[in-house]
Chain A
Amino acid sequence: MKIAFSAAGADLDAQVDPRFGRCQYFVIVDTDTMEFEAAPNSGATAGGGAGIAAAQQIAGKGLEAVLTGNCGPNAFDVLKAAGIKVFTGVSGSIKEAIESYKAGKFQSTAQPNVSAHSGMGRGRRKG
């Protein structure tokens, strides 16, 4: 079973990145074999629609679930359409999170838990 993490680094010791759309890496783990692959998130530097770009990148990977800190409405729509469960509120290292996931400690979320643009710094009025 394959699950993906929004990650601050490219291996299993990396911390889970609280941002989905603008995380640095996606680490995709096969929880049966613990084999993993890491890829930079193409949404990280997107001008807009980062969550959509990020979700689209991993949507075709045959994932069971995405584990992240926060997930906004647009990314959530894409993941939902792709039939991927979303778990928010995940933190700590990926290794720890895998154990917690296997132990059934997380509950998948039925809706986005943050509004759009939450992964961007708090800025002034801008266009």
Chain B
Amino acid sequence: MILSVASGKGGTGKTLIATSLALSLKGRGKVQLLDCDVEEPNAHIFLKPVISGSEEVLIPVPHVDENTCTRCGKCAEVCAYHAIAVFGEYVLTFPELCHGCGACSYLCPEKAISEEGRESGIVEWGHSDTIEFAHGRLNIGEAMAPPVIRKVKELAHDNGTIIIDAPPGTSCPVVESVRGSDFCLLVTEPTPFGLNDLELAVETMKELDIPCGIVLNRAGFSDDKVEAYCRKENIPILLTIPLDTEIARLYSRGVTLAEGLPEWREGFVELYGKIWEIVDERSRCPQR
């Protein structure tokens, strides 16, 4: 089962949930954690994996042979990202804008465009005890996270439980991270921002046709607007974690909930069981 942990709003506790869940499921079959928040990966701080391998992420960018090129401008016309400009006798490429789609080289009538790899990030893999681990790191100054995220996801096992720690927000990197998941846990907090961004995340998951459930973190200090929203949308709240300075203190030292407060492990195992039931039921009677 592929299980993503996303949130909408940042800082609600995605990594706390993803890492604690992975640790709580230790010894219950194969578990792999993929940290897809390649702009700010942090799951390794908690799982402290031994890294055994790494690979650069290369984006294929155009290289124009200026002698063969007739300056017809087809490449500039088909590039949706304006990563290539043709005017007068000039051809200029802007590799940092290139998404590596290959349209320019494919459609060049003179076959004057070849592709060369440009490094945009790195993926690393290893293990933390019995938990398999992988994460990606986007190079500083790079704008496009999805190619690095795709590379991290290529490292996913074919079986067992795969937990994906997704980036915050609801844009391309999140879509790339959660795509193909059997379930998405949305971690939120009872604040206006938490609710606003939760609504956006729920809409995103609906669009992607991924069933979701809620983890309400830092609960107990605010109104019940998140609960009311979940009731209205018929989304289950699968786990509630109270606002607790001890949890924050542990987390700030790189200690997960599952390790610092082991009594929580049972809660995470139960959480996994509930998710399993939802996914199982859905697979037996598809709603759409």
Check: A74 CB closer than 8 A to any chain B CB. yes
When C-beta atoms are compared, the residue in chain A nearest to B39 turns out to be: A125
Q: A59-B88, A81-B92, A127-B146 are in contact. Are A49 and B169 (CB under 8 A)?
A: no
Q: Is the CB of B87 within 8 A of A59?
A: yes
Knowing A74-B94, A125-B169, say if A56 contacts B86 (CB, 8 Å).
yes
The answer to whether A52 touches B171 (Cβ under 8 A) is no
Number of interface residues of A (CB under 8 A): 21
Interface of B is mostly: loop
Segment with Cβ contacts to A, from B26-34, B51-59, B75-83, B228-236:
B75-83
- Say yes or no: A81 contacts B146, CB within 8 Å: no
A74 near B97: Cβ-Cβ < 8 Å: yes
**Once the chains bind, are A48 and B97 in contact (CB under 8 Å)?**
yes
- B94 near A56 with CB under 8 A, answer no
B173 cross-chain contacts in A, Cβ below 8 A: 127
Q: Is there an interface contact between A49 and B88, defined as CB atoms closer than 8 Å?
A: no
Cβ contacts under 8 Å, B146 to chain A: 127
Most buried by A among B85, B88, B144, B146: B85
B171 touches A49 (CB 8 A): no
Across the interface, name the chain B residue whose C-beta is closest to A46.
B82
Interface bracket on B: 20 to 34
- Determine if B213 is an interface residue (Cβ-Cβ < 8 Å): no
Interchain CB contact under 8 A, B87 and A126: no
Bound state CA distance, A127 and B227, in angstroms?
Answer: 30
B42 to chain A, nearest CB (A): 15
Q: Which of B86, B87, B145 contacts A127 (CB 8 A)?
A: B145
Assess whether B82 is in contact with A52, with CB atoms less than 8 Å apart. yes
Task: State whether A126 touches B169 (Cβ < 8 A).
Answer: yes
Query: Roughly how many angstroms separate A56 CA and B77 CA in the complex, as a whole number?
Result: 11
Tell me, yes or no, whether A60 is within 8 Å of chain B by CB. Answer: yes
A59 to B172, CA, bound (A): 32
Q: Does B194 contact A (CB under 8 A)?
A: no
**A49-B79, A81-B87 are known contacts; what are 13 more A-B pairs with Cβ within 8 Å?**
A48-B80, A49-B81, A52-B92, A52-B97, A56-B85, A59-B87, A60-B88, A77-B94, A78-B85, A81-B90, A125-B169, A127-B144, A127-B146
Tell me whether A104 is interfacial, beta carbon within 8 Å: no
Q: Are A82 and B88 in contact, CB atoms less than 8 angstroms apart?
A: yes
CB pair B169 A127 closer than 8 Å: yes
Residues of A within 8 Å of B190, CB to CB, are: none
Per the bound structure, the CA–CA distance linking A125 and B173 in Å amounts to 11
A5 to chain B: closest CB distance in Å?
19
- Map CB proximity to B onto A88-127 as digits: 1 under 8 Å, 0 otherwise: 0000000000000000000000000000000000001111
